[in-house]
Amino acid sequence: MLELRGVRHRYEGRVVLDLAQFSIPRSGTVAVVGHNGAGKSTLLRLLALLEAPTEGQVLFNGTAVPRRAPASLRRRVTLVEQRPVLFRGTVRENLEYGLRVRDVGRTAANGIIGDVVERLGLQALLPRRRHELSDGEVQRVAVARALALRTDVLLLDEPASSADRAAAGALYRALAAERAARPFSVCIASHQLEDAYRWADDIRALADGRLSPVTPENLFRVELAPGDGVKAARVGNIDLVVMTDRAGPVVLAVSPTDIFVSKEPLPSSARNVFKGRVTGLAIEHRGAGVHVRADIGGVELVAAVTAEAARDLALTPGGAVVFSFKATAVQVF
Amino acid sequence: MDFLAEGLRRAWGLLIAGDSEVYGIALLTLKVAVVATAISCAAGLPLGYFLATRRFWGRRAALTVVNTALAFPTVVVGLLLYGLLSRRGLLGGLGWLYTWQAIVVGDVLLALPIAAALSAAAIQGVDARIRRTAETLGAGSWRTAWTVAREARFALAAVITAAFGQVVAEIGAAMIVGGNIRGSTRTLTTAVALYTAQGDFGLALALGLVLLILALVVNIALQVLQGRGGGHA
C-alpha cells in the first residue's frame, strides 16, 4: 500500500532516517517501536506524504509519489501526531474539518461524526473548545478526527501517550471496531511495547533512524488452554511456562532483558530453562550492551546482556548457550 | 502654549462647522489609505505566508530584502516613483503624476514590505503542527493557508493596522508624487505640513486632530471585526 524505498532523510545535514525499504501492507497493522529520537515521527511524516524524503522514493500502491504530494493522494492517508493540536473552534468543528474538505454533505457528516463520537465516548466534549480539554481528551478528539475520514492508511504517533489506562483502552477498542467495520492499514509508532504487542501483525524497531536488526522479538502468538495459574504453551519445539488466567489466542512476550544467559543450566527459580546455540551477537548501546540471538528448539530468542557479561561467558556464534527466565517474566497480551 | 489652545479652539470650530475643505481632505486621505492598505495587504499577506512556509532557494535573501525595505525612506520612494511617473519616465504614459493614484502607488510600495515582513513573522509564530494537521486532514493549499491564518488572526490584524498606520501617516512620497494640490491630491499630512509652513497653526492642528480621529476610528473598527471573529481559541 505505502512503501519507502532507499530513503535517506536529512535535517540540517544530519541523517535522521536511513531505510532501504519500509512498507505498510494493505489492511495490515505495523508497529514501529523505538526510543524517543529514533526517527519514528519523521518516518510517519514521510509516510503521511507531508514531507518528501531528501533521497529515495515514497510509493503509494506501487506508484511513485511526487515530491509535493497532491491533496487527492494526501487524503488517502492521515496522521495523528504524538502531541496533536486542535484548530480553533469547537470539537465538533474539528471533527467536521476533514469531511468539509472532502465535500461530504451535512447529513452524511453528522452520521459519521455520530459514529466516531460514540465509539470514543466524546459526546460530552462536542461543544467544547481546545482550551477546555485535557491532553488526553485532545488526543482522543484527534484520533476521532482522523478516524472520521475513513482513509486507506491511518498513522498514529504514540496514540495513547497522554491517555490514562481506561482512555487508552477505549481508543484501542474504537480502532478495533473501526477495523472490523472496514479494512484499512494502520501504522502505530510507540515506545511502549505493550501497544505494539497488542496491535500489530508486524513489529519493526527503529534505532538512530535505521531499522534495527534486533527487533523486539521474543513474541509468540499461541493458543492458551483454559484454567488458572501456571500453564505451558507450545512454541516451536519448546514449551514456554507461563503464569496467567488468560485462555484462547494471546501473544506471549519475553523482554530480552528478563532472560539470564549462561553456558550451563543453573539451579534457580526460573521455570523456563532452554539449551540452544548462539546465532548472532549484536552490539547495542554504543558498545555497552550485547543482544544475543539463539536458536532454541527451532525458536529464535533474543537476550540482552552487558558487553562485560558477553565477554566473561565467551559467547561466540555457533557456541552452546542456555537461556533462563521465570514463568512470571512471560507477559501475556 | 497659547497657540496650541488657540489652535485647538480653531480646530474644534472647523470640525463642528463641517468645513468642506477639512472634510474633503479627510475623505481623500481615507480613500487613499483604504485603497493602499487593501492593495498592500492583498499582496503582502500571501507573500508573507509564502516566505514563512515555503523552503526555496533564495528564501533568506528574499526575507532580507523585505526586512530592509521596511526601513526604506519615504522620500526616496517618492523620488524613485517620481522618476518613473514623470512624462519621460517608464510609467509616464499612465499620466498618474500628481494624482491620488500616484499617492496610492507610493503608499503601496511603502506598506507592502510591512505587510509581508510582519505577516511572515506572524505566520512563523503559528505552531507548525497546525499546518501539518490541516494538510494531513486533506486540506489543499488555500484551505491550509486559511486555517493557519485563522490561528494568527490577532497578529495579522495588527499587521493590517500597522500597514494602515504607515499609509495614513506617510508624507514624503505623497508630497513628491501627489504634489499637494488643493482639492485634488492634498492629504491630511501634506496639508498639515503646508499650513504649518504658512503659519496657520489652527488649521494645521485641526487637520492633525482629524488624522488622529481617523486612525482611532479605523483601529476600533478593526478591533470590532477581530472580536466578531471570536475571542476564544
Looking at the partner chain, which of A45, A71, A131 has a beta carbon nearest the beta carbon of B138?
A71
- Residue B15: what pLDDT? 80
Looking at the partner chain, which of A45, A81, A101 has a beta carbon nearest the beta carbon of B143?
A101
Q: Name residue, grid cell 495490515.
A: A28
Interface contact flag, B139 A101, Cβ < 8 Å: yes
Whether the CB-CB separation of B43 and B87 falls below 8 Å is answered with no
Chain A residues contacting B via beta carbons under 8 Å? 45, 48, 50, 71, 74-75, 77-79, 81, 83-85, 87-88, 97-98, 101-102, 129-131, 145-146, 149
Interface contact flag, B136 A85, Cβ < 8 Å: no
- Residue A34: what pLDDT? 77
pTM of the predicted protein model: 0.76
B232 touches chain A (CB under 8 A): yes
Mutate to test the interface with A, among B56, B126, B137 (most CBs of A within 10 A): B137
How far does the CA of residue A329 sit from the closest CA of chain B (Å)? 40
Structure confidence at residue B210 as a pLDDT band (50, 70, 90): confident
Question: For chain A, what are the domain ranges?
Answer: 2-211, 219-332
- Residue B28: what pLDDT? 94
Task: Report d(CA A178, CA A172) in Å as an integer.
Answer: 10
Task: Report d(CA A204, CA A40) in Å as an integer.
Answer: 10
Question: For chain B, what are the domain ranges?
Answer: 27-189
Cell of A65: 509519489
Mutate to test the interface with B, among A85, A104, A158 (most CBs of B within 10 A): A85
Pairing of strands A29-33, A185-190: parallel
Amino acid B221 reads: A
B150 contacts in chain A (CB < 8 Å): 87-88
CATH number assigned to the domain covering A2-211 = 3.40.50.300
Whether the CB-CB separation of B154 and B118 falls below 8 Å is answered with no
333 residues of chain A, pLDDT tens digit each: 899 999 999 998 899 999 999 999 999 889 898 777 889 999 999 999 999 999 999 999 999 999 999 999 999 999 999 999 999 999 999 999 999 999 999 999 999 999 999 988 899 999 999 999 998 899 999 999 999 999 999 999 988 777 776 777 778 888 888 888 889 999 999 876 666 666 777 888 887 888 865 455 687 878 888 888 899 998 888 999 999 988 888 878 888 889 999 999 999 999 999 999 998 887 766 667 788 989 998 888 989 899 889 889 998 889 999 999 999 999 887
CATH number assigned to the domain covering A219-332 = 2.40.50.100
DSSP per-residue letters across B148-207: HHHHTHHHHHHHHHHHHHHHHH--HHIIIIITT-TTTT--HHHHHHHHHHTT-HHHHHHH
Interface contact flag, A77 B151, Cβ < 8 Å: no
B128 touches chain A (CB under 8 A): no
How far does the CA of residue A326 sit from the closest CA of chain B (Å)? 45
Alpha-carbon torsion, ordered A14, A18, A24, A28, to 10 deg: -100
- The highest-confidence range among A188-197, B142-151, B173-182, by mean pLDDT, is B142-151
How many angstroms separate the Cα of B69 from the Cα of each of A129, B66, B113, B117, B128?
40, 5, 6, 9, 27
Decide if pLDDT at B229 tops 70.
Answer: no
A52 contacts in chain B (CB < 8 Å): none
> Counting one residue from A and one from B, how many pairs have CB atoms under 8 Å apart?
62
Residue B26 neighbours by CB under 8 Å, 6+ apart:
B188, B207, B210, B214
DSSP secondary structure letter of residue A90: B
Amino acid A142 reads: A
- Among the residue ranges A7-21, B80-94, B154-168, B201-215, the one predicted with the least confidence is B201-215
- Residue A197: what pLDDT? 65
Nearest residue in B to A83, CA atom? B129
CATH number assigned to the domain covering B27-189 = 1.10.3720.10
A50 contacts in chain B (CB < 8 Å): 132, 135-136
Looking at the partner chain, which of A71, A77, A78 has a beta carbon nearest the beta carbon of B140?
A71
Nearest residue in A to B146, CA atom? A87
Whether the CB-CB separation of A186 and A154 falls below 8 Å is answered with yes
Task: Report d(CA A260, CA A88) in Å as an integer.
Answer: 53
B155 touches chain A (CB under 8 A): no
CA A169 and chain centroid, separation? 15
